């Protein structure tokens, strides 16, 4: 295992992500083998330790989102450990029973720290759809702003492709999608191994921990081996998740969830486990997603005040600064933002459709609901969904 005291930034040969040397927005994925300590039920002592670490980071001002496995294992235990069955309907039953007990455990543990938790159940379809992506992102960011801790899980009760263990349908890859969704600086994948090894350490005593992986190639993928016995994800899905998250500009670490104070140590920048540094800059990655990933459906022409607010003050686009709308688009579509000369100054995701923006252009934000009869927020395009050109 990597020696203590050496920072991730030092391991990468670059400066730390923040002046304090600490990651501020963190997605932490807790695997089934960690939460159950290798047994057939949730280990509340282990969960209490992990929750305590999240609470400590929370008190220090960090933002932490949890992607949690364990619902199926919890459901199996609550139903008296029925004989193992692999058919989808039965596993959906286990997830349905277990999810409420899993959240109850988190609720009670976080309550001791006076922290509010928020359950978020997602499927691949929720994030594939542009409006679903936007709604999910806005909700998660709003929860973080309110200092709640989102606890994310797959909606196994309805997501058949996920429960079957499809490549994109496990909590490892879901955690990577969430990390990209909220622009997390660090994704921590906690498992029952110290990280990625040169061979399976359970069978090969000469296996060495790989402390850093700059590029995930076929050789690295071959080292990941088979899935774990409990849960859907194994090392292979963690490598897939690392590949996805680093492509979005997020640092990824695979580490042993049983290590003392593992989350707080990683958040402080200590090198533990296997580090996967990002392959692109987060801003550049987001630019590519907005400019190439989604086709522009129309444009919004803004006045000089809005141009200054966007460029100089890094603010959201409000209806008061909109002069006119060009093209037809719906809420959640990608649009160009242009100045009065027709020069494109930004691209973003519209909070309102073209007809609604036309109806509220020039108005103050507090009059949106009066004009439309509904409201999706004070911004026409929120700064978190906007990229300046």
Question: Does 305 map to a domain?
Answer: yes
Question: Does 1 map to a domain?
Answer: no
Question: Does 72 map to a domain?
Answer: yes
52 & 175 share domain: yes
276 & 290 share domain: no
Question: Does 2 map to a domain?
Answer: no
160 & 91 share domain: yes
Return left, alpha or beta for 87; rule: phi > 0 is left, psi -120 to 50 is alpha, else beta. beta
53 & 29 share domain: yes
Question: Does 91 map to a domain?
Answer: yes
Range of the domain at 359: 286-388
Distance CA 24, CA 14 (A): 17
Q: Which of 258, 280, 302 is at the close of a domain? A: 280
CA distances from 357 to 221, 222, 322, 367 (A): 47, 51, 8, 12
Q: Which of 43-57, 231-245, 274-288, 347-361 has the lowest mean pLDDT?
A: 274-288
Q: Which of 25-29, 59-63, 385-389 has the lowest mean pLDDT?
A: 385-389
Q: Which of 280, 311, 346 is at the close of a domain? A: 280
Task: For residues 115-133, give the mean pLDDT.
Answer: 77
126 & 242 share domain: yes
Residue 130 has pLDDT above 50, yes or no: yes
β-sheet bridge partners, residue 275: 212, 253
Task: For residues 360-383, give the mean pLDDT.
Answer: 94
Count CA within 13 A, CB hemisphere, residue 173.
17
275 & 313 share domain: no
What pLDDT shows up at residue 368? 95
149 & 255 share domain: yes
Question: Does 294 map to a domain?
Answer: yes
Task: For residues 354-365, give the mean pLDDT.
Answer: 96
Strand 322-327, strand 296-302: pairing = antiparallel
270 & 315 share domain: no
The pair phi, psi for residue 302, each rounded to 5°, is -120, 165
269 & 295 share domain: no
Residue 11 has pLDDT above 80, yes or no: no
What pLDDT shows up at residue 169? 52
Domain count, the chain: 2
Q: Which of 235, 253, 280 is at the close of a domain? A: 280
Residue 105 has pLDDT above 80, yes or no: yes
Tell me which H or E stretch contains 174: helix 171-181
300 & 253 share domain: no
The CATH number assigned to the domain holding 60 equals 3.40.1160.10
With cut-offs at 50, 70 and 90, classify the pLDDT of residue 123: confident
**DSSP string computed for 238-256:** HHHHHHHHHHTT-EEEEEE
What pLDDT shows up at residue 22? 82
| pLDDT top residue among 308 and 171 | 308
259 & 296 share domain: no
Q: How far is CA 299 from the centre of its chain?
A: 29
Which of 28-42, 48-62, 290-304 has the largest mean confidence?
Answer: 48-62
Question: Does 126 map to a domain?
Answer: yes
Closest by CA position to 188, among listed 10, 4, 29 = 29
Question: Does 237 map to a domain?
Answer: yes
The CATH number assigned to the domain holding 364 equals 2.30.130.10
For 241-277, how does the pLDDT look when each residue is reduced to its tens digit (9 = 90+)? 898 888 778 999 999 999 999 999 999 999 999 999 9
293 & 244 share domain: no
Distance CA 158, CA 129 (A): 17
Q: Is-above-0.75 flag for pTM?
A: no
With cut-offs at 50, 70 and 90, classify the pLDDT of residue 135: confident
């Amino acid at each position: 295992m990597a020696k203590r005291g050496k920072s991730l930034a030092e391991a990468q040969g670059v400066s730390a992500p923040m002046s304090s040397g600490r990651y501020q927005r963190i997605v932490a994925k807790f695997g089934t083998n960690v939460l159950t300590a290798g047994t057939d039920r949730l280990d509340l002592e282990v969960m209490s330790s992990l929750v305590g670490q999240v609470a400590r980071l929370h008190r220090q001002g960090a933002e932490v989102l949890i992607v949690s496995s364990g619902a199926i294992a919890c459901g199996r235990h609550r139903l008296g450990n029925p004989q193992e069955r692999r058919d989808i309907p039965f596993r959906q039953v286990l997830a349905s029973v277990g999810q409420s007990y899993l959240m109850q455990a988190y609720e009670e543990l976080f309550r001791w720290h006076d922290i509010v938790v928020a359950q978020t159940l997602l499927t691949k379809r929720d994030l594939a759809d542009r409006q679903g992506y936007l709604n999910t992102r806005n909700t998660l960011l709003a929860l973080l702003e309110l200092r709640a801790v989102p606890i994310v899980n797959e909606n196994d009760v309805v997501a058949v492709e996920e429960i079957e263990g499809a490549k994109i349908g496990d909590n490892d890859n879901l955690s990577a999608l969430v990390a990209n969704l909220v622009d997390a600086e660090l994704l921590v994948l906690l498992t029952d191994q110290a990280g990625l090894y040169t061979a399976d350490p359970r069978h090969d005593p000469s296996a060495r921990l790989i402390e850093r992986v700059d590029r995930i190639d076929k050789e690295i993928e071959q080292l990941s081996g088979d899935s774990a016995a409990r849960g859907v994800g194994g090392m292979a899905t963690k490598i897939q998740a690392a590949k996805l998250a680093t492509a979005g500009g997020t640092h990824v670490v695979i580490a042993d969830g049983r290590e003392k104070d593992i989350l707080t140590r990683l958040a402080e920048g200590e090198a533990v486990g296997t580090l996967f540094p990002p392959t692109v800059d987060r801003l550049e990655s987001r630019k590519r997603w907005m400019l190439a990933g989604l086709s522009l459906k129309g444009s919004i022409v803004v006045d000089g005040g809005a141009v200054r607010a966007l460029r100089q003050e890094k603010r959201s686009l409000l209806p008061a600064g909109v002069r006119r709308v060009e093209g037809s688009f719906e809420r959640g579509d990608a649009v160009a933002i242009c100045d009065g000369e027709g020069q494109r100054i930004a691209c973003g995701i519209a909070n309102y459709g073209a007809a609604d923006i036309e109806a509220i252009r020039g108005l103050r934000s507090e009059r949106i609901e009066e004009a439309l009869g509904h409201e999706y927020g004070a911004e026409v395009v929120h700064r978190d969904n906007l990229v300046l050109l």
